Amino acid sequence: MRAAALSGLRSEEAARGTFCGCPRATTSSRHRGVILGLPIVRQPTIHGEHAMKPSALFRPALAIIFLLAGLAQSARADIVTVTGDTTGSPAFDRPLADFSALSTNGTGSHYDIIEFTVAETEEYAIYGTGNFDTFLFLYQAFDPATPLTGGLRADDDLTTTFSSGFATDLNAGQEYILVMAGFDSADFGAYSITISGPGAISLVPEPASWLMLGIGVLGLALCRRAR
């Protein structure tokens, strides 16, 4: 049933072009006082793990919209957007949204991680979109081998099957890990995640980025010594 419903929606997308227009990139950008435009499309009939009551679907979405609107009026607001692509990324067995068990639909789900910290203990909004059926997780500590531990929040369908998000309290100085995953192993592609809140938001470089930075600094030092 789910595959048939989604195939109809994706056929419409093919006629209109890419749904969310997410660029296939791995760079991040920072914006202040900008509200991310929430896409509005017709929601297909869905069942099983996807099924949600309308009130459960729209209340979190409205909370994020109002939080973003309030942040846009504040000079202290920080909004950070990260884009990436899960095509060919590592895979794990995805948990359910409440972290109570592994999902029977999420075996071999491709994922990408974004690590960040915030400067103020407050409520923050996290919103993700993709050109695939997204599933967004927030962890305090993440190990793909044990995905049921360390989880804080998760969301599957916020406004459509292509969006996920939530508003949640975060503590200053604590490192958090966002995991952008697909509903199942066939869901992967370009995505965009926006984190917004009253305090400064800082992305934590991955170990590979630190390694490249260290190599660059070492190379610069060697060049100066050679002179």
Per-residue pLDDT tens digits for 153-208: 999 999 899 999 999 999 999 999 999 999 999 999 999 999 999 999 999 985 44
pLDDT digits (tens, 9 = 90+) for 92-129: 999 999 999 999 999 999 999 999 999 999 999 999 99
CA pair distance 150, 174, nearest whole angstrom: 13
Q: Which amino acid is at 199?
A: G
Question: Average pLDDT in the 18-29 region?
Answer: 39
**Residue-wise pLDDT tens digits, 198-213:** 999 999 985 444 444 4
What pLDDT is recorded for position 24?
Answer: 37
For the chain, give the mean pLDDT: 74
Task: State the fold for domain 2-226.
Answer: Jelly Rolls (2.60.120)
Instruction: Tell me what pLDDT residue 136 has.
Output: 98
What is the pLDDT at residue 9? Answer: 39
- The answer to whether residues 131 and 87 touch, using CB atoms and an 8 Å cutoff, is no
Q: What is the pLDDT of residue 165?
A: 95
**């660059």: which residue's tokens?**
216
pLDDT attached to residue 205:
82
Strand 28-31 to 134-139 pairing: unpaired
Tokens at 162, concatenated? 């292509």
The per-residue pLDDT for range 52-83, each reduced to its tens digit, is 444 444 555 555 555 555 555 555 689 999 99
Across residues 6-12, what is the average pLDDT? 39
Q: Which of 205, 36, 192, 35 has the alpha carbon at shortest distance from 117?
A: 205
Domain ranges of the chain: 2-226
Q: pLDDT band at residue 216, thresholds of 50, 70 and 90?
A: low
Instruction: Express as a percent the part of the chain with pLDDT over 90.
Output: 56
**Cross-strand pairs, 169:** 123
**What pLDDT score was predicted for residue 43?**
38
Contacts of 72 (CB under 8 A, 6+ apart): 33, 34, 35
Spatial CB neighbours of 156, under 8 Å, sequence gap ≥ 6? 49, 50, 52, 97, 134, 135, 164, 183
Edge-to-edge strands, sheet with 163-170: 28-31, 78-85, 190-197, 122-130, 163-170
Sheet strands (E) in the chain: 28-31, 78-85, 91-92, 109-118, 122-130, 134-139, 151-155, 163-170, 176-182, 190-197, 201-203
